[in-house]
Amino acid sequence: SQTYGIDYNETYSAVLAQTSLRLLICIAVNQNWRIYQRDFTTAYLNAPLLTPIYIQQPEGFVEHGKENMVCLLNKTLYGLKQAGRAWHESLFQVIRESGYQQSLKEPCIWFKTEEKGITIMGIYVDDILITGNNDEEIKNISQIMGDKFKMKDLGEVHQFLGIEVINTGKGILLTQRKYVEEIVKKYGQENCKETRVPMAKIFIKDEEAIQGNDYPIRQALGSLM
């Protein structure tokens, strides 16, 4: 029931591009830096609302004698159109106040250069990669964000955005093997023959099932993309 211009304005929130992610990892590999991963818990619930939003009293929490009253939200909820943008604005403000600069070409890349070294962060909604040669600053910014928002320290990165990150000793291997296997199994394609052509044609055994919309072809194509 949200109305543009009344309940929300901007909905855009920046996300880390795949090319930026690969470049960030490439820099870390070339400089022999470790890459650490942080994950925010219920990120959207941390962002303050800039426009008044009212909701019905949640089921099980209706106050006796005040059944007709509503609740005024102080912070965003998952499902609100402006939640993603509000979260990023809150997070970016904390990072900016910590002395970090935002990349001009990639809004989700932040860096800080000091005498002790450089620290770089890549942000994708509520997932963060941190790398650099200033271990003290990595601990410091992690502490600052952890004090402000509920956050999990996942140690060195092993999986990010469905991409497995494997340290081979000679470099880092990025693979989506596990994700691909899950898709193949989910859509019943385990027995299909492989092809060297990346996308030749999708073969479905039961053509009638497709015509009858019984096969989730749109979901399958979306997963492949």
Q: Is the pLDDT of residue 203 over 60?
A: no
pTM (two decimals): 0.76
Judged on CB neighbours under 10 Å (0-12, 13-18, 19+), 199 is: exposed
Q: Is the pLDDT of residue 194 over 80?
A: no
Q: What is the mean pLDDT of residues 167-185?
A: 87
pLDDT number for residue 128: 93
Q: Is the pLDDT of residue 101 over 90?
A: yes
pLDDT number for residue 198: 66
pLDDT number for residue 216: 79
- pLDDT of 109-122, one tens digit each? 999 999 999 999 99
Residue type, 169: G
- pLDDT of 22-43, one tens digit each? 999 999 999 999 999 999 998 8
Q: Residue 92 and residue 49: Cα distance in Å, rounded? A: 15
Task: Return the closest-CA partner of residue 45 out of 80, 14, 13.
Answer: 80
pLDDT number for residue 200: 52
Q: Is the pLDDT of residue 91 over 90?
A: yes
Q: Is the pLDDT of residue 136 over 80?
A: yes
Contact 125, 13 (CB under 8 A): yes
Share of the chain above pLDDT 90, in %: 40
Q: Is the pLDDT of residue 204 over 70?
A: no
Give the β-pairing of 54-56 and 35-40.
Answer: unpaired
Contact 76, 45 (CB under 8 A): yes
Residue type, 201: K
Q: Is the pLDDT of residue 130 over 70?
A: yes
